[in-house]
């Protein structure tokens, strides 16, 4: 069981969480619980780190930001004890949860599950802080923002759990962010692949890495709400959204005699920025000269478009990078102006990437055409396009984000009837 920041925000919320945990144990389960810091706490700690030293040492940043989860794990263990349950906390270094040494974005390598398994078998509830681990040198590491989801999936895989229930502040995965589109519809099932695409293009309900880990390890994941009454159905009745394999989904569809939807979900991401280089020579090596230095600087390029050459054998190249890397990108390209040979360098961070995702795309034509037509009817201009087997993304003006998501949601027949 994993509980996110809003679920852990304060004593009263933690008491609700403890209740949910106790009910699961009473239903006959052995449970391990992974917790996030209280909502807003990690942001607050990051703020302190920045104030102390804008060029902070990532290893010390981890010491600071990992503390939020230490607090909530202790508090939940205490609250469970107050209810008469046996419980104890296991910090990342105590298990240990071993990671690489990439501070602030560490990857989990192994989890020693013996102690937790023994604790659970003895009827104790194991409470584990999410987000944190221990590097090769024994120092504290953290997994990147939103990383408690990944901790939970990793622990579930390590103890070979029947299920990994991710409790949050919405009651499942929706066709799009229900806080933005009122007509969003809750999904009973989403495939790993779809969830992976949705998470990576901006649906922050699960951290992307947690989904790829669940897919690789075959962990059964359910997303559900912790904001429930005492008599609400147990998680075993699957009130939330299950992340399932393609085969499982096909079986479910057959059982329910449902037709699969062409589009499963829509996501928006305002954290990218657009860069354009004009009048690049249209010759071999020109594009390599642009993207080589960016790769070396660890800057992830997402969408790329290169026009066909105009009259003088020149072309424009447009691409997107994470908004946080825009300044570095511009500086790097400006430095190499002569080597690359562009005329103008233009950037725009007021853009938004809208993506539609669905495995139905594999077998149906016209998904992208519907997207382009729907946006055109609303006068929304498309600045860049990228596609994968199960996704189409377009870049538009950031001011048009909500409108675009809403009209596409309607166009693909996703609106709820209620």
Q: Which residues bind ligand ASP (CB under 6 A)?
A: 4-5, 36-37, 42, 68, 130-131, 145-149
Torsion of CA 380, 178, 301, 145, to 10 degrees: 150
Tally of residues, the chain: 418
Q: Mark 269-279 as b/e (b = at least 16 C-beta within 10 Å).
A: beebbbbbbeb
Residue nearest to ligand ADP (CB): 4
Question: Which helix H or strand E contains 338, and what residues bound it?
Answer: helix 337-340
Measure the CA angle with vertex 115, ends 164 and 98; round to 5°: 70
Residue 176 binds: one of Mg ion, ligand ASP, ligand ADP, none (C-beta under 5 to 8 A by kind): ligand ADP
Helix, coil or strand: residue 93: coil
Q: Helices (H) and strands (E) in the chain — how many of each?
A: 14, 20
Residue 107 binds: one of ligand ASP, Mg ion, ligand ADP, none (C-beta under 5 to 8 A by kind): none
Q: Mark 45-57 as b/e (b = at least 16 C-beta within 10 Å).
A: bbeebeeeeeebe
- How far CA 63 is from CA of 131, 170, 282, 417, in Å, comes to 12, 30, 49, 48
Measure the CA angle with vertex 27, ends 24 and 32; round to 5°: 35
Which CB sits closer to ligand ASP, 145 or 279? 145
Query: How near is the Cβ of 241 to ligand ADP at its closest, in Å?
Result: 8
Query: How near is the Cβ of 65 to ligand ADP at its closest, in Å?
Result: 15
Which CB sits closer to ligand ADP, 25 or 175? 175
Which CB sits closer to ligand ADP, 13 or 29? 13
How far from the centroid of its chain's Cα atoms is residue 107's Cα?
Answer: 15
Residue 62: count other Cβ atoms within 10 Å of its Cβ.
24
Q: Per rule CB under 6 A, is residue 5 in the interface with ligand ADP? A: yes
Residue 92 binds: one of ligand ASP, ligand ADP, Mg ion, none (C-beta under 5 to 8 A by kind): none
Query: How near is the Cβ of 317 to ligand ADP at its closest, in Å?
Result: 31
Residues 166-185 that bind ligand ADP (CB under 6 A): 168-170, 173-174, 176-179
Residue 325 binds: one of ligand ADP, Mg ion, ligand ASP, none (C-beta under 5 to 8 A by kind): none
Residue 147 binds: one of Mg ion, ligand ASP, ligand ADP, none (C-beta under 5 to 8 A by kind): ligand ASP
Stretch that binds Mg ion, among 3-11, 194-202, 299-307, 335-343 (CB under 5 A): 3-11
Rounded Cα distance, 70 and 132, in Å: 9
Q: Per rule CB under 6 A, is residue 204 in the interface with ligand ADP? A: yes
Stretch that binds Mg ion, among 127-135, 146-154, 320-328, 387-395 (CB under 5 A): 146-154
Rounded Cα distance, 191 and 249, in Å: 7
Which CB sits closer to ligand ASP, 140 or 354? 140
Q: Per rule CB under 5 A, is residue 146 in the interface with Mg ion? A: yes
Residues 93-152 that bind ligand ADP (CB under 6 A): 146
Q: Per rule CB under 6 A, is residue 191 in the interface with ligand ADP? A: no
Helix, coil or strand: residue 332: helix
Residue 302 binds: one of ligand ADP, Mg ion, ligand ASP, none (C-beta under 5 to 8 A by kind): none
32 CB-near residues (< 8 Å, 6+ apart):
1, 116, 120, 125, 126, 127, 128, 155, 156, 159, 161
Helix, coil or strand: residue 331: helix
Stretch that binds Mg ion, among 82-90, 139-147, 214-222, 258-266 (CB under 5 A): 139-147
Q: Per rule CB under 6 A, is residue 205 in the interface with ligand ADP? A: yes
Single out the residue of 151, 146, 155, 144 nearest to residue 207, CA to CA. Answer: 146
Stretch that binds ligand ADP, among 1-9, 273-281, 331-339, 398-406 (CB under 6 A): 1-9
Which CB sits closer to ligand ADP, 98 or 189? 189
Q: Per rule CB under 6 A, is residue 320 in the interface with ligand ADP? A: no
Binding footprint of ligand ADP on the chain (CB under 6 A): 4-7, 36, 146, 168-170, 173-174, 176-179, 203-205, 265
Residues near Mg ion (CB under 5 A): 4, 146
């Amino acid at each position: 069981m994993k509980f996110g920041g809003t679920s852990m925000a304060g004593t009263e919320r933690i008491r609700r969480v403890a209740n949910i945990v106790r009910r699961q144990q009473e239903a006959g389960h052995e449970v391990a619980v992974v917790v996030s810091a209280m909502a807003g706490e990690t942001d607050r700690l990051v703020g302190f780190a920045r104030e102390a030293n804008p060029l902070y040492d990532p290893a010390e940043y981890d010491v600071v930001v990992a503390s939020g989860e230490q607090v909530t794990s202790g508090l939940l263990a205490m609250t469970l004890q107050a209810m008469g349950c046996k419980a104890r906390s296991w910090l990342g270094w105590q298990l240990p949860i071993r990671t690489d040494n990439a501070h602030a974005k560490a990857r989990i390598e192994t989890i020693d599950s013996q102690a937790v398994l023994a604790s659970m078998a003895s009827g104790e509830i194991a409470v584990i802080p999410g987000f944190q681990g221990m590097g090769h040198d024994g120092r504290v590491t953290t997994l990147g923002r939103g990383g408690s989801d990944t901790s939970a999936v990793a622990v579930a895989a390590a103890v070979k759990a029947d299920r990994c229930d991710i409790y949050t502040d919405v009651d499942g995965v929706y066709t799009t962010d229900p806080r933005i589109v009122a007509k969003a519809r809750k999904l009973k099932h989403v495939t790993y692949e779809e969830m992976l695409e949705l998470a990576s293009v901006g649906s922050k309900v699960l951290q992307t890495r947690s989904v790829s880990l669940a897919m690789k390890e075959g962990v059964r994941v359910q997303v559900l709400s912790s904001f429930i009454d005492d008599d609400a159905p147990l998680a075993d009745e699957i009130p939330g959204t299950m992340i399932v394999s393609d085969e499982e989904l096909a079986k479910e569809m057959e059982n329910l005699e449902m037709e699969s939807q062409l589009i499963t979900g829509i996501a928006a991401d305002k954290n990218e920025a657009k860069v354009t280089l004009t009048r690049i020579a249209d010759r071999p090596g020109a594009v390599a000269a642009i993207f080589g230095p960016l790769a070396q600087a660890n800057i992830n390029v997402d969408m790329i478009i290169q026009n066909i050459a105009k009259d003088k054998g020149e072309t424009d190249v447009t691409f997107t990078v994470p908004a946080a890397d825009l300044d570095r990108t511009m500086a790097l390209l400006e430095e190499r102006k002569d080597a690359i040979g562009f005329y103008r360098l233009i950037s725009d961070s007021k853009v938004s990437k809208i993506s539609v995702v669905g495995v139905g795309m594999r077998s149906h034509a016209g998904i992208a055409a519907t997207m382009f037509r729907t946006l055109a009817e609303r006068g929304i201009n498309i600045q860049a396009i990228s596609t994968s087997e199960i996704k189409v993304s377009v870049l538009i003006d950031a001011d048009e984000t909500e409108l675009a998501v809403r009209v596409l949601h309607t166009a693909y027949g996703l609106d709820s009837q209620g």
